[in-house]
């Protein structure tokens, strides 16, 4: 398998970005309902890279430790989805969502739980609507909160990193005037990625030919 097979062309990237945007918009709507506050989510771009590059990429950009919500997904394409924040951003997100009424101790106590919940909404919305748009369905596992550096989150060095590819998304949160940046990473093996690409191609076909 040569590299070219996993590279996304511009339209594919646009399509995936759009699919994810639909997903995160759904998720934002869900969050709005949960917390009754203005929540905006946006995904400026997406790319497909190796796990090692993904780890390096986050490592380059984030100097602090990371916190991530992780969920397995299974369906026509399967893998692991991660919603990743710098640790401080994660806490900011929790505070933004739960409000300022809580003390620092209470906040720390429920951080993991709140993050897992928030992450679940976002990842579910994201992956769910994506699958929906691709006219497929995915099964999602229970969320799980992990901490560590980028290498440990992507299991660099512990698994055969050549086998894994990452659909890598930047995600911007705007919750009650807090700007929070994070990443969504969908770790898949090559067969899953190929399935995804096929599905996206079909989606593009459908959308661009469709007369509005």
Partner 1 sequence: MKSSRPGLFPKASASPTADPADVEHATGGREAEAELLEITNELATARERLDLTLEAAGAASSWNWDISANRLFADTRFAAMVGLDPLDLKAGVPTRYFFSAIHPDDVPRIRLAVAGILAGAEIFSKDYRLVKRDGSIRWVRAEGRGEADDDEEPVRFVGTLVDITDQRLAQERLRIAQEAGGIGTFEHAAGFATVNVSDQLCRLFGLHPTKVLPIKTLNDLIHDGDPLIIDLARPDGPQSIADREFRITRADDGKVRWLAQRGEYVEVAQGSQRYIGVLYDVTETKASQEQLRTANLALAERARGSMRERNRMWQNSRDLVLVLSGSGEIKDANPVWREILGASPSLALGRSIVDFTWPEDKASMLEAMEVASKGGRSDFELRLKHADGAPRWISWRTSQEDGAIYGFGRDVTLEREQAETLKDTEAQLRQSQKMEAVGQLTGGIAHDFNNLLTGIIGALSILRRRISAGRLDDLDRFIDAATTSAHRAASLTHRLLAFSRRQSLDRQAVDVNKLVNSMEDLLTRTLGEKISLSVLVHPETCCAFTDANQLENAILNLAINARDAMPKGGKMTIEAENVILTKADISRNEEIQPGPYAVIAVSDTGTGMTSETIAKAFDPFFTTKPIGQGTGLGLSMIYGFAQQSGGHARITSQLGMGTTVTLFLPDGSGADKVSIGSAPSQHGSLMGEGEVVLVVEDDSAVRLLIVDVLKELGYRTIEAEDGEHALPIIESAQRIDAVVSDVGLPGINGRQLAEVALARRPGLRVLFLTGYAATASSRADFLGPGMDMMTKPFSMDDLARKVREMLAKD
Which residues are near partner 1 by CB under 8 A? 10-11, 14-15, 18-19, 21-22, 25-26, 28-29, 40-42, 53, 56-57, 60-63, 129, 133, 181, 204, 207-208, 210-212
* Distance separating alpha carbons of residues 72 and 16, to the nearest angstrom: 19
- By beta-carbon proximity to partner 1, the closer residue of 8 and 116 is 8
- By beta-carbon proximity to partner 1, the closer residue of 38 and 141 is 38
Helix (H, G, I), strand (E, B) or coil at 149: coil
- By beta-carbon proximity to partner 1, the closer residue of 78 and 132 is 132
Min dist. Cβ of residue 100 to partner 1 (A):
22
Min dist. Cβ of residue 17 to partner 1 (A):
8
- By beta-carbon proximity to partner 1, the closer residue of 2 and 63 is 63
Min dist. Cβ of residue 32 to partner 1 (A):
10
**Angle of the 10-35 helix axis to the 190-209 helix axis, nearest 10:** 90
Min dist. Cβ of residue 129 to partner 1 (A):
7
**Angle of the 104-133 helix axis to the 10-35 helix axis, nearest 10:** 130
- By beta-carbon proximity to partner 1, the closer residue of 68 and 116 is 68
E-strand stretches of 56-177:
66-74, 79-86, 139-140, 144-148, 164-175
Torsions phi, psi of 50, nearest 5?
Answer: -80, 165
- By beta-carbon proximity to partner 1, the closer residue of 44 and 157 is 44
**3-state SS record for 132-143:** HHCCCCCEECCC
Min dist. Cβ of residue 7 to partner 1 (A):
15
Min dist. Cβ of residue 27 to partner 1 (A):
10
Q: Which two tokens stand for residue 206?
A: 């459908």
CA dihedral 27, 33, 37, 42 (to 10 degrees): 10
> How far is the first Cα of the chain from the last one, in angstroms, to the nearest whole number?
38
């Amino acid at each position: 398998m040569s590299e070219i097979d996993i590279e996304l062309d511009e339209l594919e990237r646009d399509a995936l970005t759009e699919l994810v945007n639909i997903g995160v918009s759904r998720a934002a709507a869900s969050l709005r309902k949960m917390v009754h506050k203005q929540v905006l989510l946006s995904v400026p771009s997406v790319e497909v890279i190796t796990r090692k590059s993904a780890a390096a990429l986050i490592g380059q950009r984030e100097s602090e430790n990371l916190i991530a919500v992780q969920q397995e997904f299974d369906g026509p394409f399967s893998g692991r989805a991660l919603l990743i924040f710098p640790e401080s951003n994660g806490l900011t997100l929790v505070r933004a969502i739960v409000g300022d009424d809580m003390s620092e101790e209470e906040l720390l106590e429920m951080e993991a739980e709140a993050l897992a919940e928030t992450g679940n909404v976002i990842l579910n919305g994201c992956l769910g609507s994506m699958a929906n748009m691709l006219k497929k369905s995915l099964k999602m596992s229970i969320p799980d909160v992990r901490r560590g550096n980028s290498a440990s989150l992507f299991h660099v060095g512990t698994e055969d990193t050549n086998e894994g590819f990452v659909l890598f998304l930047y995600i911007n949160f705007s919750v009650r005037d807090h700007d929070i940046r994070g990443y969504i990473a969908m770790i898949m093996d090559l067969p899953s990625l190929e399935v995804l690409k096929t599905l996206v191609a079909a989606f593009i076909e459908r959308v661009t030919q469709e007369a509005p």
